[in-house]
Structure 1
Amino acid sequence: MTDKLLEIDHLTVRFKGARTIHAINDLSLSLGEGETLALLGESGSGKSVTLKALLRLLPPKRTEIEGDIRVGGTDILRLSGRSLQRYRGGDVSMVFQEPALALDPVYTVGAQIAETVMRHKGVSRSEAMEVALDMLKRVKIPSPERRLQNYPHELSGGMRQRVMIALALACRPRLLLADEPTTALDATVQIQILLLLRELQKEFGMGVIFVTHDIGVAVEISERIAVMYAGQIVEEGTTREIIKDPRHPYTRGLLAANLHDVARGERLAAIPGAPPALETRPASCSFAPRCALAGPDCRAGLPPVVTPAPRRRVACLRADEAVPAE
């Protein structure tokens, strides 16, 4: 295995307010240097909350966090002040789902990238603008010199996402977090952005965590997949293991509902029911109410974590009853 870039141990995140939301429950995960991992699951499964916890972007007054998060050996939950500022955008950067909301509408594209470079690298404005131009070229934006002077609203959705990627990578982070960066794009542009991210990941050698609800996207971009459900990782393995030999009933349900493999006129498979409310911490398998294989033992306590292979794990009593995908 490659050296560990990221180690998350027993992460728990609760949101306090009129009611308590148990968003993440005892999540453990690791990522090696230069690896690409997809966090796969339905909306509300905790994928985006996990990324925000990694960047310390959760509202501190309403959030309770337990566990340990280390990036390059540094305990990021203890960072504050300048150390936290250097960490965000320097060691770890994020590409958001909607760049129109993430980019500042009152500054040009070039000014925003240059400001980030000056803050983290301590270079002059002219040097920072050279970096900004170089990054726009690397993300393959047409007429990059002219685009430096554009405002975000003057660009198409696909071009704004390329700017977001350029901004995130301008300081050469060791870890890139991508939160559904292609969801708002049409199919053709989506493929272009995925290919670009894969190319830049290889060029820069950074680790990547890619959040998606689309298993086709996860297969295209990642070496490993971690499947999330109700704030927990229910299955993890290499992309090939997850696709060829899914062990958790939820993973198999996601594969069966995949639009990419359905013939015209064929009825889509669906997972019955809905994800659970997260107002109480789970005391048994969260997927049991939707699972055709569930028995009384599944509702009696939390499922054991089975490890059929190195870095392969499944949180399910029925892991050995899963039928491999055709």
Structure 2
Amino acid sequence: MGREVAYLVFVETHKSYIAILFIQFVYAGMALFSKAAILKGMNHFVFVVYRQALASIALAPFAYFFERDRYAPLSYTLLFKIFLVSFCGVTLGLNLYYVAIKYTSATLAAATTNTIPAITFVMAVILRMEILSMRQLSGLAKVLGSIAGVSGALVFAFVKGPPIHLFNGYPSNQSSNSPHTYSMTDGSTVEWLKGPLVMLSANTAWSLWLILQAPIVEQYPAKLRLTTLQCFFSCIQSACWAIGFERNIDSWKLGWDIRLLSVAYCGVVVTGITFWLQIWVIEKKGPVFIAIVGGAILLVGGLYSVLWGKNKEETKQSEIKEPIQETKEEIV
């Protein structure tokens, strides 16, 4: 009984951290599924439309049944604000993200999210939502941490190494005759630069969305309805965007393949669940918290995993060497 109480207390006090960790894993899956759908030939603008439409349909019943008794007045001014926030963060951020992922890898897309904490922090300081004091150690740590996050993402984005072939199903554009050399033509260089720069723009739009959630939630505290409205508005905005860029009817067709699975995952799990979780965490902890803590958890977890794996390898190597040494001594 005591253990159960302690477990419940732990979950209650750390639920914001658990939610952010879950969000990070979901976003990693989003990068993989999205890249797979685009490689399968799906138009990235159409992908956003279907994703947001499915998210709106999935969230609407929950928003109605769980928050129908909650009083949250919705004026035309507030509705217009939600429309603008949806465009600045969700519509612009997602469409730029999928344009960038077309030219880059899912790994780079996940890695460049390290710029989001720094961008969010700078925006929060400019808008006076975050306090910065360079005379204090905490303020200096914020600045150095932001610089480190951006520097790491830029190094990962612009330092180009040899291609690593993990899946045979996704062919590389590079020649297999020279696996240790990586040459780029002028066209590929432009695309290589375009991807990270567009991804940086997408992260900036996403950081702006995180910042703008706090004042919107104060005016409209019904979080499920707020998430549903943002998904609905972004679906309409993305549809206008997609129609302008893609007129081919065949590009709008979905089949029973990875494209439908990716749309379902990104629509229901990513947009439907994690957007609501992020708004909830922002209301509790603020926009900078959700941007920074997720990266910190993955950084510490990744470092621990590497050290643990290295220790296991050394242990196995020592266990192998000991019998060999004993055998040599017996022969001598």
TM (norm. structure 1) is 0.23
Task: Give the helix-richer structure, 1 or 2.
Answer: 2
Relative contact order (alpha carbons < 8 A, sep ≥ 6): 1 or 2 greater? Answer: 2
